[in-house]
Amino acid sequence: MDLRAWITGKGKKNIPLPFTVYWLTVLMLTGTGLVAAIYLSVSHYRVYTDVGYKSFCAISRAINCDTVSQSPYSIFVGLPVPIWGVIGYTFLMLFLPLAAGKAAGKKRIWALIFWIALVFSAYSVVLAFISSYYIGSYCIMCMVSYGVNLSILFYSWMTRRRFSNSGLIADTRADLLFLWKKKVTTAVLFPACLTGVLLIWIFFPSYWHFQPPPLTEHILTGITAEGYPWIGAQQPVLEITEFTDYQCFQCKKMHYFLRQIISENADRIRMVHRNYPMDNKFNPIVKQPFHIGSGKMALLAFFAESKDKFWEMNDYLYSIAGQNNSIEIEALAQKLDLNTNELARSLSNPGYRFKLQRDIQEGIKLGITGTPAFVINGKVYLGQIPAQVLKSGMKD
């Protein structure tokens, strides 16, 4: 044997991999994408419905699947983004067996799979861009999905090149003709998939649109002797002081959760509201831009409190949190029947700014480093309240 040829590999005959290896690789990639999408769908649901839930990849501010799920960008055309992933991967799993049939001759539908994977990959690029420039946080499982989509794109291109000598456009036409001839299969697969998508889109519950219980006459509200708004029992068995941020999703979720408990135990539990915006322009412990606008939202709440509309403003501010960093003063004034000019001036009112700094300084003294935080009988609970503590104020 020529030593030089052996070292360089020249003269060796390449043995191509069998078709089954290519097909199984794409099938396994699709299965991996489906598993990731199912996990993300379950995680998305729990983020909105389980007050104590925290995903395994909620590691930091930059790497946090929960932050991505909490953003308005996690919903696309009325459905959570991972649900669209489940739909897409499921369709591809049902579509792939057509490529393995004898009639396909190892050549057919790979061009169509390439186009499908190209759409998946393009959407992945869009989502990655949104995570980088709008959400400011990344999701590990989302990145797994991005890798899967790009891998399917590569392997479908490689498989088509391996088993077909035609160009992409010619193969696409041949694939469409192949599907047209398999009328029985396509007449079942495509209508069934379209019907399934339509049914999911119509009947899928909008669990991400959660609201607090309505303010009713049987739920009392008032102002404490120290000047803080409260809701619930006038003579409480359990008093909870919340330190919250209007741009904090967990604050919103916990506040709504506690409001539901209070509505069921209105004569036993009282919640006192304190502001603790994690806005670097207001809170000295926050060194980098974070929860931008939450400080101004707190000032608006102080103004509403002076007009006996604190809880209406409180609920509205939570409802618009995360949508954008700017607040439409005129629309807000009309929504709550407040004077537009007075509401605008509240943002620079020194009295409201003093009250806000009083709340923040009190939170700092208590050692609060994040929101939500709850103070019960002098003890601080970060994130959530233990069930046994809540049960002490609830009816048997």
Residues 252 and 43: their CA atoms lie apart, in Å, by 18
Contact of 193 with 89, CB cutoff 8 Å? no
- pLDDT score, position 52: 82
Q: Report the alpha-carbon distance of residue 360 to residue 364 in Å, rounded.
A: 6
Residues 256/261/263/266 CA torsion (nearest 10 deg): -130
- Residue in the structure block whose two tokens are 């509309």: 309
Is domain 220-391 in CATH 3.40.50.1000, yes or no?
A: no
Q: What is the pLDDT of residue 7?
A: 47
> What distance in Å separates the CA atoms of residue 324 and residue 230, rounded to the nearest whole number?
28
Q: What is the CA radius of gyration of the chain?
A: 28
Give the separation between CA 69 and CA 288, rounded to whole angstroms. Answer: 22
Distance CA 154, CA 279 (A): 44
Q: Distance between CA atoms of 112 and 118, rounded to whole angstroms? A: 10
Low-confidence ranges of the chain (pLDDT < 70): 1-15, 323-325, 396
CATH 1.20.1440.130 boundaries in the chain:
7-203
Looking at domain 7-203, its CATH architecture is: Up-down Bundle (1.20)
Distance from C-alpha of 63 to C-alpha of 59, rounded to nearest angstrom: 6
Specify the 3-state DSSP secondary structure of 394: coil
Q: How far apart are CA 232 and CA 394, in angstroms?
A: 12
Confidence (pLDDT) at 325: 60
DSSP per-residue codes, 178-218: HHHH-HHHHHHHHHHHHHHHHHHHHHS--TT---PPPP-TT
List where CATH 3.40.30.10 sits in the chain.
220-391
Strands (E), 209-250: 220-223, 229-232, 238-244
Let me know: does 223 contact 230? Beta carbons within 8 Å: yes
**Helix and strand totals (H; E) in the chain:** 16, 8
pTM: predicted TM-score of the whole model, two decimal places: 0.84
* Phi-psi category of residue 38: left, alpha or beta, with phi > 0 → left and psi -120 to 50 → alpha: alpha
Strand segments (E) across the chain: 75-76, 79-80, 220-223, 229-232, 238-244, 269-275, 373-376, 379-382
Asked if residues 171 and 164 have their Cβ atoms less than 8 Å apart, the reply is yes
Q: Show the CA angle centred on residue 98, arms to residues 97 and 100, nearest 5°.
A: 65
Contacting residues for 84 by C-beta, under 8 A, at least 6 apart: 76, 77
pLDDT, residue 10, reads 56
Q: What is the DSSP string of 136-148?
A: --B-HHHHHHHHH
Question: What's 285's DSSP letter?
Answer: T
